Structure 1
Amino acid sequence: MSKKAPFALRAVVCLIAASLAPAQETRGSIIGRVVDASGAIIPGVTIHAVNLATNVSISGESNAEGNFEIPYLLPGEYRITAEQTGFKSFRRDGVEVRIGERVSIPIRMELGQVSEQITVTAETPLLESAGANLGQVIDQRRIAELPIAHGNPFLLMTLSPGVSYTQNPGLDRPFEPTHIVGYAMGGVRANRSEITLDGAPNTALNHRWGAGDLMAGYTPPSDVVHEFKVQTATFDASIGHTQGGVTSVTLKSGGNSLHGTAYYSLLNPVLNANLFFANSAGQPKGHFIYNRWGTSATGPVYIPKLYNGKDRTFFTYGYEGIHESRAMGAAYGAGTLTVPTARQREGDFSELLAVGSRYQIYDPATRVALGTGRYQSQPFPNNIIPSNRINPIARNILNYYSLPNVPGTADGTNNLIRVNDPEVIKYFNHIGRVDHNIGANNRMFVRFNTYKRFSHSSDWFRSAPTGGYSDWKQHSFSIDDVHNLSATTFMNVRYSFFRLSIYQYPQPASIGFDLASLGFPRSYTDAIDPGVRAFPAISISGYSGTQNNWWRYPTHNQSLEGNVTSIKGNHTLRFGADARQYRNFQYEPHNASSGIFAFGNTWTLGPFDNSVAAPIGQGLASMLLGLPTSGGVDRKASFAAQSTIVSAYVQDDWRITPKLIVNLGLRYELEGAMTERFNRTVRGYDFSTPSPLEAQVRANYAAHPIAELPANEFRLIGGLTFPGVGSQPRALWNRDTNNIMPRAGFAYTLDQKTVIRGGFGIYFGPLGAQRGDVIQLGFSQRTEFVPTLDNGLTFIADLSNPFPNGIQEPPGAADGLLTYVGRSARFFEESPQAPRQQRWQLGVQRELPQRVLMEVAYLGNYGDSLELTRDLRALPTEYLSRSPFRDNAHINYMTQQVPNPFYPLLPGTGLSGQNVSRSYLLAGPQYSQFTGLTSTSYEGYSWYHAMQVRTERRFAAGWSVNAAYTWSKSMEAIGQLNGYLSPLEYAISTQDRPHRFVISGLWELPFGRGKRLLNAAPTVVDKVVGGWQVQGIYTAQSGPPIGFGNVLYMGDIHDITLPPGERTVARWFNTQGFDRVPANQLSFNYRTFPSRLNDVRADGVNSWDLSVLKNTRIHERVNAQFRGEFLNAFNHPMFNAPNTSPTSTAFGQVTSQRGYPRRIQLMLKLIF
């Protein structure tokens, strides 16, 4: 078959070859056994499951062992009937089938005529007696009535035990795909779990914002969602493509009655609370306008005089729009930034000297060589830069910066609160589904959905050249067919397609920005295509910077999948295969195309070149002097990447006895390696071939060797390799063929009210997601800003002439092993292993009085082959000082400047200077042709242990309550304290949240007609007192562990944590015991202080979301509903982590909050 054959055709061939295929099933099943009055099995009984909403009947038959199963049932209520000659007919109404559940309905028949009927009245079983999966169903009423921000149903995922939200809670809108799935599940990191919509994949690989992350493809309006199920541990072999849990969403599927909604919602800024720190500083509430509206409808398809779809064809449609304008600080919890003061913009830093002498600015023009490999500079008198020394380009750039609006800390940090930097968003969302009952043995549905998001944001400059636009467009489509091949064999096939295109670009005023207006020379500005010119990206040490995002990122996914279910004796067999294709594109030729400049403290610290830098001030001084530390102009290539995954599985649900079901399964996934359409990418690294530079560099080095590295031992190894070049294949890695996943589970019914369940399973994540992006070194290249060749004694480039030798064009792969030398490079391991998770659980379900289900379970998870970054140019540990204090002699020795053996071989790069530090030559010397070299490897591991407790009372008698508690510990080893060759640090995980409790409830107040109180009230009274309902969610969650650097701490680490009663934003942890003197800070020391401490944590979650609603009947079939929703009702701020830099004046302080203050949503909804 041609390689150009359409993917769908090739996938069909694969599926036929492997029989039929599985799905992440979102429907339910009814299972059971048919017996007579004596308990003897009855084979050949015809069982019908009739959907009460659609009147569609689906049939099955008991086999020789009396067992039956009717799969692929849409969630809803069913009537179960059974018929057999010689027996009375059986009927049971009100059987509730929920998403992904196998409901056990025993059928006992009596001798008699079929015309006679036995009617059984019983509640739907609460216990899950057919499998071991851990999960929680979020029912339709909760989705429709609980208070949730923006009507985003995914926010209710946290009602399930074992789920914790680890992202910024302020990013909760339905069009924020990377954050609405930011949940850690069952010990697996956030954004690693699968989401399905009507069984079809609803996640995309996130190559833009996070390596290894998945992002949600689409968020349906809550009014069209029937229910969804969150599973944190699954032991069914049909479930794959995930390291963690699965969230399965099913839409409403219509019925014979027309139902729908129309609503309008707003958030009133007058009612909302202020941000904590803005309020503390006396700042007003930020700008805020919010409107959300929508409609939905379900019912039979009816075309007058042409078609009546009653009992046959049904539709669901939903639309939602959002128009929002809000302050960026409120949106992202950023809150506070740092900008130069008016005096600092004029070169006057004298106010910083009052804070401490460490803020002294040194004059790079006075730098001299001491002859010992050290350099020394003199301070600016009074910490003031003469006005005639200030670079005019720097002054022009700073004119775009906002001035401070609050004093900030003692040294001026956090002196700008973002209260009125607007972000304007318009969002339009459409979704539709049509279900058609073709015949007694065949039914299908088609779903489509699309959304468009357009946003305009102004960064804190509040100026046209630095704002930006985002344009997001999403489309997806799915078709699903179920066919009853016989009374005991059923087939399901599904195809789905997904596309998301994200386009980020500057404001029109910035496109074509005249760089010459800032003062840049024409030789520089003319080298940049006018169509991509924009305001340059600026980074200043200690201050907030700017960025210029300009890119397009489309992603396409499609899948073909299915399922075959066959009941054989005491076995329910399922088997099949599925095929998925992922395509990711990126086009960003404009990012940093107009220049990116970083201003550090290299040129303005002192008195020596290795002195401790000031926390703030020196970077800005470098800018005013026109001396960037680094920078460049980018020329970037686009990419078009593709990968495929084909998988197969077999599952046997074996009913060994009426009380015991064992689930046995085996799954295999084969992921094809990613390819780039035109091979515009790095494949790996050649560790076997000497670098083409080796001979010349060795000769240079031999003339000036250092004592630690004899000249005869100095080598240069290899370089980057490229797909399709030489003997390299096109694939970006050698595929992993060992992804075999056994699964096993059991459910034992101890008695009518108790089930014991357990399971074990292995899971692999897709490597394509772990790649993060396509490395295009050589095809994309930066022309480096090189300010000096002699360590700052003289400068050959500055802001006034940043690139005297012009702008370089990328060579692609033409330079071979010399590609990107003199720069920092990275690559991926060529033979990676897919990340693996091993998960097990043992638990008990018990039905309590009042039909309350309680479950207690232990869940364990071990992950290995986890992704981590290796720094091949890290300094070996033998060159780190073992002193517990700052070792100035060792620092001086390691930072001593020695002759650069690469000089003058690599002009215009980071190795163009005459000297390098001694430590540079000792850090991975065999790779020293690269200023940095990192690889992605798969050696990490993690552990997770948890107790999960949940209680559930389904809605009855006017109330419902669900509660979930998780007590857990998560450990991981995915980093190192002391470089490449040191062991992995086994530390508390950044995802660890030891305690999480969430409870949700709905309560119809018992007043008015049909209620316990005032049930005979007059109409007027009933309109006032009837129809009231309250509901709410309370969430408490531990905060994340706080990370520290290589600090100098001389106390007991257990004393760092403060008791809750002593913890404030001004002193979040005990700062005593930390050495805060800048001159004492560690450098080139062997690290022993852990990266994270279990007992030192950032703020947790303590949030009440409450609502009150009033239903008023205004017509026989029309209700008007008014609701007020109070999100974070008691205005508990959730703070960001405190400052952990000991030399900062804000050390130990919290300066910003995460998420929102209290918001009040008001809604009017018509329900018919």
Structure 2
Amino acid sequence: MKHRLSRQEESSMVRFVPFARIGVMLAHSLLACTLVAQEPRGTILGRVLDPTGAVIPNASVKVTNTATGVTVSALTNAQGNYLVPYLIPGTYRIEAEAAGFKRVVQDGLELRVNDRLEVNLTLEVGAVTEQVTVVAETPLLDTASASMGSVVDARRVAELPFPHGNPYHLIQLASGVAFAQNLTLDRPFEPTHIVGYTMDGARSNRSDVMLDGSVNSASGNTGTRNELISSWVPPADLVSEFKVQTAPFDATVGQTEGGVINVSLKSGTNALHGTAYYVKMAPELTANLFFSNRNNIPRGNFTYNRWGASAGGPVRLPKYDGRNRTFFMYGYEGIHEERPRGTTLTVPTEKQRQGDFSDLLRLGSQYQIYDPATRRPAPGGRFQVDPLPANIIPANRISSIAKNILSYYALPTVPGTADGRNNLPLPHEPEPITYYTHAWRVDHNFTDRHRLFVRVNVYKRDSHYNDWFKSAATGQWFQFLSRAAGLDDVYSFTPSFIMNVRYGYNRFIRTYDGNPKGRNFDLTTLGFPASYNNAIDPSIRRFPVISIDGYAGTYNGWLWRPTETHHLAASFDKIQGSHTLKFGMEARAYRENQYNPDHVSTGQFSFGTTWTRGPFDNSPAAPIGQGLASMLFGLPTSGYVDRRASYAEQSTVWALYVQNDWKVSRRLTATLGLRYEVEGPLTERFNRSVRGFDYTAVLPIEAQVKANYAKNPTREVPPEQFRVRGGLTFAGVGGLPRTLWERDANNFMPRVGLSFKLTDKTVIRSGYGIFFGFLGVRRGDVIQTGFSQTTQFIPSLDGGLTFRATLANPFPDGIQEPLGAALGPMTYVGQGISFFNTKPLAPYMQRWQFSIQREFPHRVVLDLAYVGNRGTHIETTRDLNALPVVYLSRTGERDQPLIDYLSANLPNPFYPLLPGTARAGTLISRATLLTAYPHFTSVSTTTNEGYSWYHSLQVKADKRFSRGYTVQVAYTWSKFMEATGFLNEGDPAPAKCISDQDYPHRLSLSWIWELPFGRGRRFLANANRVTSALVSGWQVQGIYAAQAGQALGFGNVIFRGNLKDIPLPKNQRTPDRWFNIDAGFERDSRKQLAYAARVMSFRFSGIRGDGINQWDLSVIKDTRIREGMKLQFRGEFLNAFNHVLFSNPNTSVTSTAFGTITSEKGYPRRIQLGVKLVY
């Protein structure tokens, strides 16, 4: 067994040692406090020299934004260095002067988001009244930083084609980035998916989203743990530019496992500027879906309109002229859309609703339905059942409740497959959506030493969808609300000592409810007893949730979840000799409330094959039909009613930071930083939460259970070894703290970066840093077992010989009410439980890079980089109550004798001590008695055993705009491996495999080209007015993205072939046969594995789904109205060549659809036509 380091040892080796290595260099900089986080503005720094190259101390430097006229002053220190930080992106002029020298002025410096421009100025001997003006190009090489990232400049944001005006679509242009979500979820009001990018080996939705330096992210926790979403997506016309920082080795960056999406909004200028636009997407200009064409389904009709406006300029009031001082910016955007939301469902046929399954039986004996009324004991602890004659249920045995429920189902519209699947295609179901957003920003400059801005933004989205049956049984009404504000203040105490304080707040509300037809639903109209109906509060009563094996179900969810984030930061910049010191503090508070009765507060009933399979209870199930038959008999397999507690949870983060940007020589710059973060444990305002698990808790039922067990023990567990111990603990109960875990206070993050200027045109850069992830609210929600209460549907206590609960009386013992923590460790005994690890370690990433940057003529910069990433302490989930692997079969084939042995029914030692639970029956399987905690169905917890690693070659070429065009290319070749799951729950370590977010090849290309015709261009510049109007102002632009598909896996299956035979050559792959289904898979459902150790990997790198291959093109025509005003006509062709992007193929070996694809995860060609007034 491998030795595992203790927590103390690991902390010392992994975290302290890197800190110690740089501690000597940083000791003089470890001042009182720390950081401001991810910075959206830029910095101009450099030296002032005389003609001999000697430094000039006390030279005056002025940096002026040419659009606003705002000037910031600085003085050079004794080493001739100056520093001007916190400058908004834009074009700047620099002036420098000193006694005995001519004033020098350098114009046209382009400063981009998060830039550190090194601008050295040389003064000529002469009088200060003399001036030397230099028009020089902006430095293109990054000589002051080792961080990796890509800037999406203002022109790309304004002019490239992308859907719905969503600028985050351009994140894909960065190297080291891959898209890991569904391309159809690309609208600005789909916050979970629009930032679903993996960055340099960190999983998607783990990167921080910053807006003007403040947090613009919220906790997702919508089924995926450890997830961040974007609280607000600004309209493109409000975005100045943004930077995708994939490997930021700056100690100001924290609270992210991945990168940072750093967005800078526009501010007003001395001139009034703005836009007004309208965009239309018409169905006549949109291609049909691939599978709709294939099935002769015409393109659905839809409506799409988007409009908006922006305006910015100086604030002018009576007796106040805000030019050079006070500026405003405002933007609005609205969307109205009604589009088809397609799917294909399987619903019961008219004959099946009458109990007639004879058509299925004609397809083969595997579709035989068995009569639960004939169930009887059989040898070996089994049950035997007789076939249902002719596969037809007698009319007098069909549940009237089941028939009433099915009356809310839609009928089939096509025959579907041979066994009736996919018989309800719904390609054109409407999804109406309305959306609007407003944003305001005001900048004010008190003096050249003091400036401030304030931002406020809001949005609202309303929609409803999934109303498949046009009845109370289906449909969801959805709403998102967002409110946010930010304040930023910069003050210069001296020209070399600058402070920045900022505060950000955002509140994001996700709310939805079911179809209004199903609200306050009266269950007695379906035939349910009044006692059941009256036990549910009418205000939360909905149509019940029905789940039928092989068929579509019903759903009526209900949720109200507001989240809010507070972000406070202060930072200080001090230039001292050749060192630029940064230090400060950051605090974040994440809060989330939830009121979530959800659909299961009324009741959920599942109809599987347990009661209608045969001839024995462990016989393979039919491909379809048996679940529906179970429903018609009125015999759910399982079900429950929930009483769900609300919660109000919070976690906080504090961070300290210090960094030294050291100009070692004229060629070498070193960045030495240290960040320290402490994240407080999750708390619930009223302690309504599980805290952990007491592994040794003695339960009051143990003595009786052990006595019962001793009468019929298994041979594997002698009576004296049988234990009934362990139970939940609760926050603030029994002397335990109200915090849900112990604080991890060892999160030191060293950052080191080197930038060496090999020549004037070549820079070598390298960096290393540690980045800690998050726990708290962003990790997952509180666990409220006990405060929420589930009443289980218990159909039988004797394995189906008799039924105590049916649809006619589903909860004969009534609905159980929550007892909170009153039962102590007896809480939820007999059911499944989960709890957080009370001593977690924050996951962290070690990231490093080595790169060469080379400048070429025509403003071209080429970056060649190796980037690596190692993830440690990644959170995993274990079921501590899984059957030990020693009992699992390792034959590689279906081991029927072992299956019969482990699934055999034995006398239940818990009977009758746990009524109303999964341990209420008289019988229990042998496998259950062999688990560590047989009094629970599952015991799930989190661990920090996961790890990952990533290696990549990244190539980026960027030609900044000149000579009428700009081009940007990024290519990444990578491998992303991880070990975050267990093949078998009892395995000692997670299994290594290719990540499901491994995309080995990713290419992106963007360009803008002003056609060289007409006014101000190369050709026809002096044409007559008519010709000039026709040929002037044309430009074309586009984006191309190519990305490898996702790695696939098949589950725990029998495979007797060669894995290399599974993938098919590209020219042989079709939606009907994506891979070789005959390569050696055992597909007979009767021969599948059970109680078998899994050896097949989760995924295989050589077997992949479809990849991205998409061109987005556009044409723009600018028509000049007058000086400073133009009308712009735009045609945008998204997926211009109509390349279909298929969803992943079906990988269920027993499915008749195995290896086929029936849907797509991208849009067909869409054409957006727009007109925009720009002034």
Same fold (TM over 0.5): yes
User: What's 1:136 paired with?
Assistant: 150
Which of the residues 296, 310, 317 maps onto 2:330? 317
Q: Which amino acid aligns with 2:801?
A: L
1:728 counterpart (736, 740, 753):
736
Structure 2 distance, partners of 1:1092, 1:409, is: 29
In 2, distance between residues paired with 1:1074 and 1:598?
A: 30
Which residues in structure 2 correspond to 1:9-158 (within 5 Å)?
Answer: 18-19=32-33, 21-158=35-172
What is the Cα deviation at residue 20 of structure 1? 6.0
What amino acid sits opposite 2:188 in the alignment?
A: P
Tell me the distance in 2 between the aligned counterparts of 1:1129 and 1:191. Answer: 28
SS state of the match for residue 745, structure 1? strand
Distance 1:147 1:402 in 2: 40
Do 1:206 and 1:769's aligned partners in 2 also have CA atoms closer than 8 Å? no
Q: Residues 859-891 of structure 1, C-alpha deviation per residue, up to 9 Å, x if partnerless?
A: 100001101110111111111112121111111
Shift of 1:415: 2.8
- Separation in 2, partners of 1:916, 1:1091: 31
What residue in structure 2 maps to residue 4 of structure 1? Answer: none
For residue 245 of structure 1, the aligned residue among 259, 273, 291 is 259
Whether the 8 Å CA contact 2:592–2:777 is kept in 1: the answer is no
SS at match of 1:99: coil
SS of alignment partner, residue 853 of structure 1: strand
For the residue of structure 2 that corresponds to 1:278, the secondary structure is helix
Question: Would the aligned equivalents of 1:662 and 1:745 in 2 still touch at CA under 8 Å?
Answer: yes
- The amino acid of 1:520's aligned partner reads F
1:999-1148 to structure 2, matched below 5 A, reads 999-1072=1005-1078, 1073-1148=1080-1155
- Give the residue type in structure 2 aligned to 1:536: P
Range 463-472 or range 21-30, more displaced:
463-472
Write out per-residue CA displacement over residues 968-1019 of structure 1, whole angstroms, 9 at most, x where no aligned residue: 0000001111222343110000110000001011111111111111111211
Deviations 1:677-711 (A, max 9, x none): 11111111001322232111111111110101110
1:256 to 266, 270, 278: 270
On the 8 A contact 1:21/1:493 being kept in 2, the answer is: no
Shift of 1:931: 1.0
Q: What is the 5 A alignment of 1:191-340?
A: 191-303=205-317, 305-329=318-342, 335-340=343-348
Equivalent residue of 1:592, what SS? Answer: helix
Q: 1:916: Cα distance to partner?
A: 0.9
Counterpart of 1:515, as a letter, is L
**Counterpart residue number, 1:179:** 193
| Post-superposition CA distance 1:107-164 (Å, at most 9, x none) | 1111110011122221101111101110000001111111111000011001001111
Matched, 1:740 2:748: yes
Question: What is the distance in 1 between the residues matched to 2:332 and 2:656?
Answer: 37
Paired residues of 1:198 and 1:249 also in contact (CA < 8 A): yes
Partner SS for 1:190:
coil
Tell me, in whole angstroms, the C-alpha distance in 2 between the residues paired with 1:1098 and 1:390.
Answer: 44
| Contact 1:409 1:1145 (8 Å CA) reproduced | no
Task: State the distance in 1 between where 2:1151 and 2:1102 align.
Answer: 22
**Aligned mates of 2:1165, 2:192 — CA distance in 1:** 24
Residues of 2 paired with 1:693 and 1:1038: CA distance? 56
Separation in 1, partners of 2:550, 2:939: 27
Q: Decide whether aligned partners of structure 1 residues 403 and 749 sit closer, same or farther in structure 2, where only a CA change above 3 A counts.
A: same
Counterpart Cα distance in 2 of 1:410 and 1:1038: 34
| Amino acid of the structure 2 residue aligned with 1:976 | F
Shift in CA distance, 225/529, structure 1 to aligned 2, threshold 3 Å: same
Specify the SS of the correspondent of 1:1017: coil
Checking the alignment, whether the CA contact within 8 Å between 1:18 and 1:577 is kept in structure 2 is no
Query: Residue 277 of structure 1: SS of its match in structure 2?
Result: helix
After alignment, is 352-361 or 266-275 more displaced? Answer: 352-361
Quick one: distance in 1 between partners of 2:228 and 2:384? 50
C-alpha deviation, 1:503, in angstroms: 1.7
Q: Deviations over 1:190-210 (max 9, x none)?
A: 000001000001111123342
**CA contact 2:573–2:583 (8 Å) conserved in 1:** yes
User: 526, 530, 537: which is aligned to 1:529?
Assistant: 537
- Partners of 2:1085 and 2:590 in 1: CA distance: 50
* Cα RMSD, aligned residues only: 1.4
**SS of the residue aligned with 1:310?**
coil
Match of 1:512 among 496, 514, 520: 520
1:394-793 equivalences in 2 (<5 Å) = 394-769=402-777, 771-793=779-801
Q: Deviations over 1:641-683 (max 9, x none)?
A: 0111110000000010100000000000011111101111111
The 2-side partners of 1:990 and 1:405 are apart by 36
In structure 1, C-alpha distance between the alignment counterparts of 2:742 and 2:363, rounded to whole Å: 57
1:818-897 equivalence runs, <5 A = 818-897=826-905
CA contact under 8 A between 1:324 and 1:426: conserved in structure 2?
A: yes
Distance 1:1144 1:659 in 2: 64
Instruction: Map 1:798-813 onto structure 2 (within 5 A).
Output: 798-813=806-821
Q: Contact 1:465–1:513 (CA<8 Å) still a contact in 2?
A: no
Given the alignment, which residue of 1139, 1156, 1170 partners 1:1163? 1170
Separation (CA, whole Å) in 2 of partners of 1:318 and 1:67: 40
1:37 counterpart SS class: coil
Q: Secondary structure at the match of 1:377?
A: strand
Q: Any stretches of 5+ residues in structure 2 without a counterpart?
A: 1-29
Code of the residue aligned with 1:246 in structure 2: it is V
The residue type equivalent to 1:283 in the other structure is I
> AA paired with 2:823?
D
Amino acid paired to 1:313: T
Contact 1:281 1:406 in 2 (8 A): no
Match of 2:366 among 358, 366, 370: 358
Between the aligned partners of 1:579 and 1:952, the Cα distance in structure 2 is 36
Q: Report the CA distance between 1:960 and its aligned residue.
A: 0.8
- Paired residue secondary structure (2:966): strand
Query: Residues 464 and 714 (structure 1 numbering): CA distance in 2 closer, same or farther, change over 3 Å?
Result: closer
Shift of residue 590, structure 1, vs aligned partner: 4.3
TM-score (norm 2): 0.96
How many Å apart are 1:921 and its aligned residue?
1.0
Is the Cα–Cα contact under 8 Å of residues 34 and 109 in structure 1 kept in the other structure? Answer: yes
User: What displacement does 1:35 show?
Assistant: 1.1
Q: How many angstroms does 1:1020 deviate by?
A: 1.4
Q: Any idea what SS the aligned residue of 1:344 has? A: helix
The one-letter amino acid paired with 2:284 is V
The secondary structure found in structure 2 opposite 1:178 is helix
| Whole-angstrom distance in 2 between the partners of 1:143 and 1:855 | 22
Between the aligned partners of 1:1039 and 1:1123, the Cα distance in structure 2 is: 32
SS in structure 1 opposite 2:169?
Answer: helix
Alpha-carbon offset, residue 1161 of structure 1: 1.0
Give the whole-Å Cα distance in 1 for the aligned partners of 2:801 and 2:601.
30
Aligned partner letter, 1:196: M
Q: Deviations over 1:899-957 (max 9, x none)?
A: 11111001111111111111111122xx1111111111111000100111111111112
Residue 5 (structure 1) aligns with: none
Does structure 1 conserve the Cα–Cα contact (< 8 Å) formed by 2:1015 and 2:1022?
A: yes
Counterparts of 2:413 and 2:931, CA distance in 1: 45
* Change over 3 Å in CA distance of 1:297–1:878 after alignment to 2: same
Residue equivalent to 1:10: none
Identical amino acids, percent of aligned pairs: 56
